[in-house]
Structure 1
Amino acid sequence: MPLASRLCTRWFSLGLAALVATGCATSTAPVAPVTPVMSGAPTAAAPVRVKVFVAAMFEIGQNTGDRAGEFQHWYERYWKGATPVTVPGALQPVYCNADGVCGAVLGMGKVNSSSSMQAILLNPKFDFSQAYYVISGVAGTPPQRGTIGEVNWATWLVDYDLGHRWAPEENKAGEPTFMPRKGYEEYRRFQLNPALVGWAMKLSADTPLKDSDSARKYRLRYPDAAARRAPFVGTGTHMTGDTFFHGPGMSKQAQYIAKLYGADDYVITEMEAAAITLVIKRTHGTERVMSLRGAVNFDQGNPSESTLAHLDPAPGETAGGFAETVENIALVGTRVVDHIVGHWPQWQGGVPKP
């Protein structure tokens, strides 16, 4: 048999398409194309269809069995025994359960948390096309508007930075020392879906919250009625900044920025939510984003305490209630997560009408 005929005969076994591509002549007799047999070939696993993703910023030790940080109560509720999924570019692995609830520790600060979130969102092991997000962690609050142990759903997320600042002594007395920088209008503040915030409050506002004797005692150092309240579930603007700002002056500036941008009253200071939300917005939009924070400190000292003393307190002078607050966050947040997952046919297409 001529060489060309032998080659065409061999190529024919690969199918009719290969014959056409190589230009081999065929006989006039019709021959059915042969389908290659892929015996034993590996198949890619279908991506996890994420219904709710819970983002925490840090954990103190292990995910279970020791002192709880921001992730442990969530982990023990949804992922105890789950196989960790390593994601290149993310700080910690992702955990998922059979109901489509996933979560991870993203890291503290804007860059740390947002880079982890982006790596997870872009990883092909997950399908986030219909996912809801709960950005969860501890925070500070001004004593005029919040208290230790409270849990707060964000109505707005505002970036504390992205502008110009100067020293107070370089300005007229009492005037603001912050000016927004042009060009950041699209990502210096986000209004979260009011319908979703409404659902979150409807489902969680009456959650019984934990408290501690140490927190009760600490609150009495402040004359403000809000500071002396027992823990509650509320809403308001969350201020995102990489700086742990302290003192009445910085607190006043945060409120000034919130009002400058048309947001609600500033009630929570934290370090990640606006940055994480920007990443989510660029991939899937913000209609399904929630930010949930628990207050573990006030953003300023009491009237008889200097800002430096508040920033670096002596032993025994810190606010109590950390353990209770991280538990409160999960108590409140799981009510919403469980409802969404338990009523998925009503939620998968978008936030239902109340």
Structure 2
Amino acid sequence: MSDSDDALPTPRTPDPDAPVCPAALVLTAAFEAPLDERRPWLERDEIAGALEVPGADTPIYLTEEGIAVTTTGIGKSDAATTVTALLAAPGLDLESAYVVSCGIAGSSPDTAALGSVAVADAVVDWDRKHRWDHGSSGSDSSAPGDDIGTADERPIDLLAYRPRDYVHRLEESVVDRALAAAGDVDPLEDDDALEYQREYPAAPQTGPTIERGTTVCGDEFWHGPRYAREVAWLCEAYGVGPYVTTQMEDAATATALERFGLRDRYLSVRAVSNYDRPAPGESVAESFDGDPASLALAIDNAARVGSAIVEALIEADPLGIGTDRSA
């Protein structure tokens, strides 16, 4: 489904004198195949209207249940720009809305089955760090090793100038309510995805589950065991290890919401579409894109579990922000 699809309403410009007040805002990153994370949301509910907000990636589609759905674009700069545009739009009032990033993510094969859905309780910014080339003396540099090494040798470190830790610890009551709702959902399974998963000896031998933990956000398309060890080290340094998922938008979204005083109602719900390293006998290049079956499974499970979470947040309103407003 695309923005030009005849089934979607024509977007209108928000009216500052009659602002739209959704009960929830769902943010997916992409809307084009094969990464169309938005499609299940638009197919799941009746779309009652649409808004065109300057600076946003795509129109906001409004369901009859008071849920706003849009895309941010892929990566931190796109996410920050879109979310800031939505927060600053005079005809859109998000004061009474829970905000949920929902889509696909990577994970370690040691952590979760493909298609598993993780609700984050912490969001780490992978790009805020030092990266050192200790083999360089100002001329030719040697190839870095595979180990994190000692403090004088490891290739990454926390920023020396760090006014704060670059990790967002999300509101516990919202995370707890989301996990309770997610626990009532049976994630879909796929035989082809499970067959691919079994190429990883350390991966679970069962189907998708619901997880809780840290998600790591970065603009770098890293892949492979060496970088995975660095990501794990950074999470441990912040006291939020081990990581469960990796993605490219959520630290930017959380930062934009924090600047507007609304981070407490934020959630990251991510389904595992691929592993962050190759299987035995597989090259990094061969494993980078994962498997089409696990990608499709993750997109469907993210929306399936995410929808239950959004409905539960609107009904329970754990922060008392007034989610009974309609779009």
Alpha-carbon RMSD across the aligned residues, in angstroms, is: 2.3
| Letter paired with 1:254 | V
3-state SS, counterpart of residue 60 of structure 1: coil
Distance 1:325 1:172 in 2: 33
Structure 1 residues 69 and 124: CA distance shift in structure 2, 3 A: same
Corresponding position of 1:77: 44
The two structures have a TM-score, normalised by structure 2, of 0.84
| Letter paired with 1:292 | V
Give 1:132 shift.
0.8
1:91 aligns with 2:57: yes
Corresponding position of 1:239: 216
Distance 2:134 2:189 in 1: 38
Give 1:280 shift.
0.4
Give 1:288 shift.
0.8
| Letter paired with 2:62 | C
Distance 2:157 2:260 in 1: 30
Corresponding position of 2:76: 110
Q: Deviations over 1:172-197 (max 9, x none)?
A: 87313101223444361100112211
Q: Deviations over 1:161-180 (max 9, x none)?
A: 11211347566873131012
Distance 1:283 1:141 in 2: 30
1:60 aligns with 2:60: no
3-state SS, counterpart of residue 126 of structure 1: coil
Moved over 6 A (4+): none
Corresponding position of 2:101: 135
Q: Deviations over 1:136-181 (max 9, x none)?
A: 1111100011221111100110011112113475668731310122
Distance 2:275 2:146 in 1: 25
1:308 aligns with 2:280: no
| Match of residue 20, structure 2, among 22, 45, 48 | 48
Structure 1 residues 44 and 198: CA distance shift in structure 2, 3 A: closer
3-state SS, counterpart of residue 278 of structure 1: helix
Q: Which has the higher contact order (CA 8 A, sep 6+)?
A: 2
Corresponding position of 1:151: 117
Give 1:119 shift.
0.3
Give 1:102 shift.
0.9
3-state SS, counterpart of residue 51 of structure 2: coil
1:291 aligns with 2:268: yes
The two structures have a TM-score, normalised by structure 1, of 0.78
Distance 1:236 1:114 in 2: 23
| Match of residue 322, structure 1, among 279, 295, 309 | 295
Distance 2:170 2:304 in 1: 21
Corresponding position of 1:36: none
Structure 1 residues without counterparts, runs of 5 or longer:
1-42, 62-66
1:165 aligns with 2:142: no
After TM superposition, the structure 1 = structure 2 runs for residues 118-267 of structure 1, keeping only pairs within 5 Å, are: 118-167=84-133, 174=147, 175=149, 176-186=154-164, 188-226=166-204, 228-267=205-244
| Letter paired with 1:280 | L
After TM superposition, the structure 1 = structure 2 runs for residues 23-34 of structure 1, keeping only pairs within 5 Å, are: none
Aligned residues: 297
Considering only CA atoms, is the larger Rg found in Structure 1 or Structure 2? 1
Distance 1:167 1:94 in 2: 44
Corresponding position of 2:305: 332
Q: Deviations over 1:6-47 (max 9, x none)?
A: xxxxxxxxxxxxxxxxxxxxxxxxxxxxxxxxxxxxx96421
Corresponding position of 2:10: none
3-state SS, counterpart of residue 264 of structure 2: coil
Distance 2:68 2:259 in 1: 20
Preserved contact between residue 240 and residue 274 of structure 1 (Cα < 8 Å)? yes
